[in-house]
Amino acid sequence: MRRQFAVEACPPVPSYPYVALDRPSAPEGWPIVFQSLDPNADAGARLIELHPTRIVLRRRLSGVPMRIEMELSRYEGVAVALLDPEGEDDGVAVVLVHADPGLSVTLYSAPGIDDVVAQWRGWSEALGLPMLVTEEDGSRHPAYPMLGRLVVAATKLRRRRRGGLKHRRPSVFQRRSLGRPALNPSVHRGERELIARD
């Protein structure tokens, strides 16, 4: 059974820009349904339904309901941005970035940078999207290379005598030389054998 949401039934969005979503720690916690500011929508708000692999955006424009659903793979990644790049406000936000700025979604925002790195990394892992670094010219690039939901790190050379197998017996002692066959093998006949029988 699918849940139905009505944008007009939602309470108005507070005017302050700070967002603090509870990131689910278990599959039962999805989807996350919340409101965000949208200057172009009626009442200045839109409803967002965030799943681990897709997102649904709902809003009303001039009384007409609109619904956009897309896979999260169409998003560029999760980036950190300043709330007021031109001003003196030190507020920062963690944003789910799309090529169309109207489809970008703020996942976390705060007046300071205390928890921004933890939120940035946490949302990147939860959604399986790269952590993006924003340059001064506005361009973005991944902070770490990723392969799907996995971060690709540089390979590390094995350090001798420091690994988990450092107490293992050296393999040189496991090599045994082949025995030589006897020149005059002795043959035993007519002897009684001790055999355990039931």
Tokens of 126: 């939860």
What pLDDT shows up at residue 2? Answer: 44
Model pLDDT, residue 154: 62
pLDDT of residue 138: 74
144 belongs to a structural domain:
yes
Do the domain assignments include residue 129?
Answer: yes
Task: Evaluate if residue 5 carries a pLDDT over 50.
Answer: no
**Same domain, yes or no: 93 and 130:** yes
Position 161: which residue type?
R
Please tell me the predicted confidence (pLDDT) of residue 91: 81
Backbone angles phi, psi at 84, to 5 degrees: -135, 80
Same domain, 99 and 141: yes
In a domain, 11, yes or no: no
67 and 88 share one domain: no
Quick one: pLDDT at residue 11? 40
Could you tell me if residue 50 is inside a domain?
A: yes
**Would you state the pLDDT for residue 171?**
65
Range of the domain at 126: 75-153
Does residue 48 surpass a pLDDT of 80? yes
Could you tell me if residue 190 is inside a domain?
A: no
Do 68 and 88 fall within a single domain? no
Please tell me the distance from the alpha carbon of residue 144 to that of residue 151, in angstroms, as a whole number.
7
Reported confidence tier of residue 92, pLDDT bands at 50, 70, 90: confident
* 122 and 148 share one domain: yes
Tell me if 152 sits within 8 A of 142, measured CB to CB. no
Q: What share of the chain has pLDDT > 70, as a percent?
A: 64
Task: Specify if 161 maps to a domain.
Answer: no
Residue 33 within a domain: yes
DSSP string, 43-102: GGEEEEEE-SSEEEEEEEETTEEEEEEEEGGGS-EEEEEES-SSSS---EEEEEE-SSGG
Residue 13 lies in a domain: no
67 and 114 housed in the same domain: no
Q: What is the number of domains present in the chain? A: 2
Segment 129-174, tens digit of pLDDT? 989 987 777 778 787 765 555 555 666 666 555 556 666 666 666 6
The residue ranking higher by pLDDT, 28 or 2, is 28
Are 104 and 141 in the same domain?
yes
Whether residues 69 and 79 share a domain: the answer is no
Q: What is the pLDDT of residues 108-129, one digit of tens each?
A: 988 887 888 899 999 998 998 9
Instruction: Give the residue with greater pLDDT, 171 vs 107.
Output: 107
Boundary-marking domain end, from 38, 73, 108: 73
Pair (115, 139) in one structural domain: yes
Query: Quick one: 54 and 83 in the same domain?
Result: no
Q: 13 or 84: whose pLDDT is higher?
A: 84
Helix (H) or strand (E) holding 151: strand 150-151
